[in-house]
Each structure stands twice: as structure tokens, then as C-alpha cells.
Amino acid sequence: MRRTAPDFTHLLAPGRIGPLTLPSRVIMPAMDMNVCHDGVIVEADVEHYVARAAGGAGMVITSASAVAFPVGATSMKEPGLSEDRFIPGLRALADAVHAAGSLLCVQATHHGKVARIDTLEGRPLLVPSAPQAAHDLSALRDNTPEELARMGAVTRGKSPTYHEATDDDIAWLIDQFVRAACRVMEAGADAIEIHCAHGYVLGGFLSRADNKRTDAWGGSLENRARLACEVIAAVRRAVGDRLAVLVRVAGEEYGEEGALSLAETVEAARLFEAAGADAIHVTGWGRNPFRDFLRGPLPNEVGAYRHSARAVRAAVGIPVIAVGRVLPEVGEEMIAGGDADFVAMGRQLLADPGLVDKLRAGRPESVRPCINCYVCVEQNFWDETPVCAVNPALGDEQAAVFLPVPSPRHVVVVGGGPAGMEVARISRERGHRVTLVEAGDRLGGSAWFSQLTTPPNGPLLSWQEHELERLGVVVRLGQQATPASIMALRPSTVVLATGASRGLPAVPGADLPHVQTGDTLRALLTGAGTAQGSRRMRWLGRAGRLTGLTSRPDLIRRATRTVLPVGKDVVVIGGSLVGLELAEFFAERGKSVTVLEAGAQLGLPMALPRRWHAVRRATDHGVHVERQATIEEITATTVRYTDPEGRSRTAPADLVVVASEVASGAPLADELTERGVAVEVVGDAAEVGYIQGAIHSAWRVARTL
């Protein structure tokens, strides 16, 4: 049955903010690109924003820009607003965004207690009150030494010192915002967003947890909101109605008692409106980034701040913008249902700059989805430019231009996982004839299985499949490729995307029937192949296959919560990305899980904030973790290992899942090369790199074919 295309009428309607009319209700929120040179906006910045403007975003907001640059800045690569020398770059950006049909808003801030440049240059951090307690930093245990070194290098290892703002500092700060707003206006931008969240200085004054003052700037909510209100009012006086004035505020701060509550934010929003704000942009903030980053500012949950936006909207008469993993369908629902007037889509627009136009063209299935992997924002921890796992053109828009080939050839792709599908898609876009051969009976490879533990991977595979169909790639499922069968297709080039091999540890007992690799576990859960396992498990797999249950990851996820006959005790060997996610999968289904990891860190190579979160979730689910464990033997009921102190230990095991021993390799490559055909290898077959590695290597190769 054909599904009716969703309707995005509300999302695509124009809307007003102060003096402005936005062509759609989708706004791109501030996201650091870290490409400016000493605060000056450069061409790569312009191209980045223009791609989103041209793709239909109603307004694009620049990354946080420092009103007193370099004072109060967190990077020398963020835009500066403190001198006239910054105006030409801003003007070029405003002109280009306007030419692309959108509007430009500049986010203005002083980074307060996270102003890394102040620490680097030996200045104390400007705060309402000196911090009283240090953050819990235990999550950093799962950073590699290299990652720790890169984070420390941003401030050259210097430790922060703090300065409680005096009345003079406060007057200076208000003046800096006003001067910055005048430059934004002079550059021809349309709006300024005053940042009053995420722990930056205005947000710090607003939060009870950061502001312990007893003067007119602390204490009651009105006093704590006073600085932001004075900034808003002073900016409003300076710019009149020549700029719209937006205010970004956290609906709630998470992770600490006594932090900013939604009731307080609602009250503050009323004060911001009275001070002259044209719109309130509702975000959220986890106060300890090492523990609560996935609650805010980059939430894991879809539509995470919907209830906050709704509460604020009920209290004010100006438009409300809601952010927080707003997917198109959810955004439409939110606007139609009165939760917000506008929605901001951050990572969605990093993953696909053309999102809004695709919705407008009635092609929502063509939108390349963000997989919520946090690879982009990880780069900000060490002051680098974001990288997108699914959109290698982020930061280099020219990379998204696929040149047509002068003389099309026949490209045969072996393997239908994300790497194979991506090579096939781009090769076909460029004009080649493409045949994709897949041994399994569905596309997606091991990434299909990963949806069981990581549901956002699913929409990416659906998008790729849809693109292959749209472009007319010939897909042959259920065909085990051999050199002879490939040569029979008469390829000009063969691209091997056959994935990684998953082996077993070289210890006694690794061949016992209750020991599974990722491949055999997948076969059991999806009823494919002839993997060994308990009789009940194999029977269930087969029954699921006959009823169609195993073709739907959501149904497998649900069904295995009720029935998962693998025994009570599960040992996962290897605590990397896959191991940790499998551990959580089994623990959520009531199993008693032990993870045995050979290294010192868990969750590699997950991007940092997600890794910290995954480790904590596994521990919250009661998963027992042993780092630096050496596996000695597997028996019918236990796994014996040596702990870092050299003691011999055992973990009970009805099921052993081996998530280590993953290796790249493309066994067909040599034979095909010997037969004189050009061969390329991509994805995990070339180097184990999961989805990011798959997509990026596919782009590199497909551009050269």
C-alpha cells in the first residue's frame, strides 16, 4: 500500500518575527563552524550558510559570535563583533544569504565561564559568581590520551581562573552588546540573537546555580534576569526596528538541583518580551557537559524541548522558536498544534542543507537524515570544524558537486551496506551504469542490524535505498559474488564494499555453540542463514522470518523485550561502540550483562558526548564492566579472564557475544585484479570505520570513478 505523502503546510508557511517575514518556519540555529580567521568570516563560512539558505531555511543564524572578541571568546575561529574590521565579512555573508532567498541572524554572546581564549591568554573568566563545586569529570576516563591532549591543547593546558563581574564590568558588557548589534546592523543582517543560555555569561546570571550574588544582579528571578533585560533593552534602543531581536534561553537546565526551572524561564521570557525582544528561542542545557550533554544543548530525544516551548509560548505574545531534534514531521505537528511558531533544525540541516526545499517539492523521502551520532559536535571539544558522518561536504560545500562523467562505464558494486549503497548512488548520479550485488536478502548489511541498538541508523538506510531506486541502480539481492559471477557482469570497475570480517578470540572454548559474533547473532535474530544457537532461538528466528517480524527492526526490538531465549547471563567480549550498544540492548531486556574490554576506554570510536552517555547508560542498566581484561577461556557456563591486577576471574555466561576481533579485508580484490579489472575497496572492507567511515570512503572513491 502506498503511503500518503506527509503534509508540511504549517512548516512551509511564511511567518513573522518583529519586522521580518521569514519564507518558512524552519530556522537554522547557531552551530560553530570554526573556520573564521582571527574572528573574520571567510568564504567557507559564507558557502556553508548559503547552502542552507538556498535550501529553503527561513533564516540562518550564525555560530556564536563574540561581542568583545577575543575577550569572552571560546575560539579564535568564531566570528568577532568587537571591531569594524569584522563588518566586511559579515556584510558579504548577509548579501549572499539574501541573494539565496533567506534572512541572516547573528548570534551574539560573551562565553563567560567557557571562554577558552580568556584562559589561553591569561585573563580570568567573567562570571556572576565564582563556581562553588567542580564538575564530576569521571566520564573523561573514556577519552583516549590523544583526545585528552587535544582538548587540553586549546588552552595549552592552562587552568581557568574566575572574576566576579563588578558594576563596571556589567556596564562594559551591555555596551559591548550594543556596539556589536550596531555592527550587525551596519553589515545589513536582519536579526541579532542574544544568547542567554548554555552557561554563557547572560545565561550564568539568569541561573540560580551560577548566580549567588546578593546585589541587584542576583537573588530573585527578576534580579537574575536583569542583565539580559538591560542588554535587550539597550540593543533595542540602538537598533530600533532595523533588526529583529531574538533571545535564546534554556527552557530548563538539567542535571543539578536548584538550576534554572521551566517556571523561572517562563517568567524570564515575559521579562524579555517587556524589555523589547521580538522572539524567544527555547533550548535546553545539561549543566555538566561530560554527563548531561545528550539532554542539552544537543538532545538525544526527538522534540526534546517541545513542552518547554509550549509553556513559554503560552506566557508571551511574541513568536517562540523551538529547537531540539525536531524532525520534519514533528516540527509540522508542533507548529500545527501550537507548541511553537518556528522550529530550529540544527543537525538536520548539517546533514542535508536542502531539507526545506525537498519538503516543499513533496519529496520528504529524499531528505538525507541526521543519524544523531554526535560526530559533528565532537570536533568543537578541540576547536575544530564539524565533520558530518553522513554529509562529507560539511565545511566544503564544493565536495557536494558531483561532476558528470564524460564517458559512462559499468560500475559493479559488491555489498549493499552504507558504503556500497553510497558508491552506487554517487556513481549513478555522475552518469555511470551501476549494478549492486548483495549476498543477503535485504540492503543495509551490518548497519541494518545496528538499528536494533541504534534506531536512527534506520532512516539513513531507507534514504539510501530510496535514492538507489530513484536513480535506477540495478540491485541484485541474494547473490553471493564470486570472481566469475562478477566478471560475467562485464564491469569496467568493481567496488568492493563487503564489510568487515568478525572473528572469534583465539582462546579455548571460542567454538562452543553459545558463542556468537555480530554476524551469527544477526543471523539468529533475523532468522537468516544457519547460525548455531539455542534450539528455541533458532526456531524463533525462523518463525519471525515466516511472519515477517524479522524484516521490521522496531518489531524485533519490541518482541525481544518479551522473548529472548538466550539465558540469563550474557558476556560481551569487547566494549567498543558495538559491544557497548549490545550490552545495553541485552541489559534492557533483563539480562545480567558483563562487558570485558581489553583496552582502558569503552565506547571507541563513538563520538565523545555519545560515548560518555553510552557508558553511563550501560552502568545505569546494571552492566558490569571490566576494563583491561584479558580473556583466557570460554566454558559452557563462564568466561574466564585476567583483570588488570593479574587476578584470574570468571563471569557467568549463558551467551557470549564477541564484539571484538573485527577486521577489514576484501578477499575478492586480488583475484579480480589478476583478471585485469579495476578494483576499489570502500567501507569497513578497507578500514573499519562504521557509518562515518563507510560514507566518507564511498565519497572519496565514487568521485574518482
Ligand X SMILES: Cc1cc2nc3c(=O)[nH]c(=O)nc-3n(C[C@H](O)[C@H](O)[C@H](O)COP(=O)(O)O)c2cc1C
Residues that bind ligand X (CB under 6 A): 29-32, 63-64, 107, 195, 198, 248, 283, 297-298, 323-326, 345-348, 376-377, 380, 386
Q: In terms of CB distance, is 375 or 688 closer to ligand X?
A: 375
388 binds ligand SF4 (CB under 6 A): yes
Q: How far is the CB of 352 from ligand X (least distance, A)?
A: 12
Q: In terms of CB distance, is 97 or 371 closer to ligand SF4?
A: 371
Determine the residue type at 213.
R
Q: In terms of CB distance, is 344 or 656 closer to ligand X?
A: 344
Q: How far is the CB of 27 from ligand X (least distance, A)?
A: 10
Calculate the dihedral angle through the C-alpha atoms of 145, 161, 613, 383, rounding to the nearest 10 degrees.
-60
Q: In terms of CB distance, is 253 or 569 closer to ligand X?
A: 253
Task: Give the C-alpha separation, 37 to 77, whole Å.
Answer: 6
390 binds ligand SF4 (CB under 6 A): yes
Distances (CA, A) of 553 to 208, 468, 469, 526, 663: 44, 21, 21, 9, 26
Task: Give the C-alpha separation, 298 to 292, whole Å.
Answer: 10
Q: Among ligand X, ligand SF4, none, what does residue 248 contact (CB within 5–8 Å per kind)? A: ligand X
Determine the residue type at 672.
L
Q: Among ligand X, ligand SF4, none, what does residue 421 contact (CB within 5–8 Å per kind)? A: none
Calculate the dihedral angle through the C-alpha atoms of 310, 313, 319, 323, rounding to the nearest 10 degrees.
-30
Q: Among ligand SF4, ligand X, none, what does residue 388 contact (CB within 5–8 Å per kind)? A: ligand SF4
Q: Among ligand X, ligand SF4, none, what does residue 68 contact (CB within 5–8 Å per kind)? A: none
Q: Which three cell numbers stand for residue 257?
A: 538541583
Q: In terms of CB distance, is 372 or 451 closer to ligand SF4?
A: 372
Binding mask 336-375 for ligand SF4 (x = CB under 6 A): -----------x--xx------------------xxxxxx
Q: Which phi and psi angles does 37 have, rounded to 5°?
A: -105, 115
389 binds ligand SF4 (CB under 6 A): yes
Nearest to 10 by CA among 342, 478, 272: 342
Cβ proximity of 570 and 657 under 8 Å? yes
The residues, ordered by sequence, that sit 6+ positions from 474 with a Cβ below 8 Å of its Cβ are 434, 435, 436
Q: Among ligand SF4, ligand X, none, what does residue 601 contact (CB within 5–8 Å per kind)? A: none
323 binds ligand SF4 (CB under 6 A): no
Q: Among ligand X, ligand SF4, none, what does residue 375 contact (CB within 5–8 Å per kind)? A: ligand SF4
Task: From 384-392, 439-447, 527-535, 593-601, give the range in contact with ligand SF4 by CB under 6 A.
Answer: 384-392
Binding-site residue total for ligand SF4 (CB under 6 A)?
13
Q: In terms of CB distance, is 183 or 198 closer to ligand X?
A: 198
Cβ proximity of 339 and 38 under 8 Å? no
Q: List beta partners, residue 60.
A: 28, 104
Q: How far is the CB of 303 from ligand SF4 (least distance, A)?
A: 16
Q: In terms of CB distance, is 324 or 353 closer to ligand X?
A: 324
Q: How far is the CB of 298 from ligand SF4 (least distance, A)?
A: 8
Q: How far is the CB of 31 from ligand SF4 (least distance, A)?
A: 9
Q: In terms of CB distance, is 11 or 64 closer to ligand X?
A: 64
249 binds ligand SF4 (CB under 6 A): no
Nearest-10 crossing angle of helices 221-239, 167-186 = 40
Task: Give the C-alpha separation, 192 to 327, whole Å.
Answer: 25
Q: In terms of CB distance, is 187 or 388 closer to ligand SF4?
A: 388
Q: How far is the CB of 323 from ligand X (least distance, A)?
A: 4
Task: Give the C-alpha separation, 425 to 432, whole Å.
Answer: 10
- Residue keyed to cell 559474488: 481
By three-state DSSP, how is residue 449 classified? helix
Residue with CB nearest ligand X? 346
496 binds ligand SF4 (CB under 6 A): no
Q: In terms of CB distance, is 72 or 459 closer to ligand SF4?
A: 459
Cβ proximity of 101 and 22 under 8 Å? no
Q: How far is the CB of 232 from ligand X (least distance, A)?
A: 16
Q: Is 530 exposed, middle or buried (0-12, 13-18, 19+ CB in 10 A)?
A: exposed
Cβ proximity of 354 and 331 under 8 Å? no
Q: How far is the CB of 34 from ligand X (least distance, A)?
A: 9
Q: Among ligand X, ligand SF4, none, what does residue 325 contact (CB within 5–8 Å per kind)? A: ligand X
List 376, 473, 653, 672, residue binding ligand SF4 (CB under 6 A): 376
Q: How do beta strands 15-17 and 20-22 pair? A: antiparallel
Task: Give the C-alpha separation, 461 to 160, whole Å.
Answer: 44
Q: Which three cell numbers stand for residue 336?
A: 500545527
Q: Is 220 exposed, middle or buried (0-12, 13-18, 19+ CB in 10 A)?
A: exposed
48 binds ligand SF4 (CB under 6 A): no
Q: How far is the CB of 695 from ligand SF4 (least distance, A)?
A: 9
Q: Among ligand X, ligand SF4, none, what does residue 17 contact (CB within 5–8 Å per kind)? A: none
Nearest to 22 by CA among 92, 83, 105, 91: 105
Determine the residue type at 450.
S
Q: Among ligand SF4, ligand X, none, what does residue 390 contact (CB within 5–8 Å per kind)? A: ligand SF4
- Name the residues that contact ligand SF4, by CB under 6 A: 347, 350-351, 370-376, 388-390
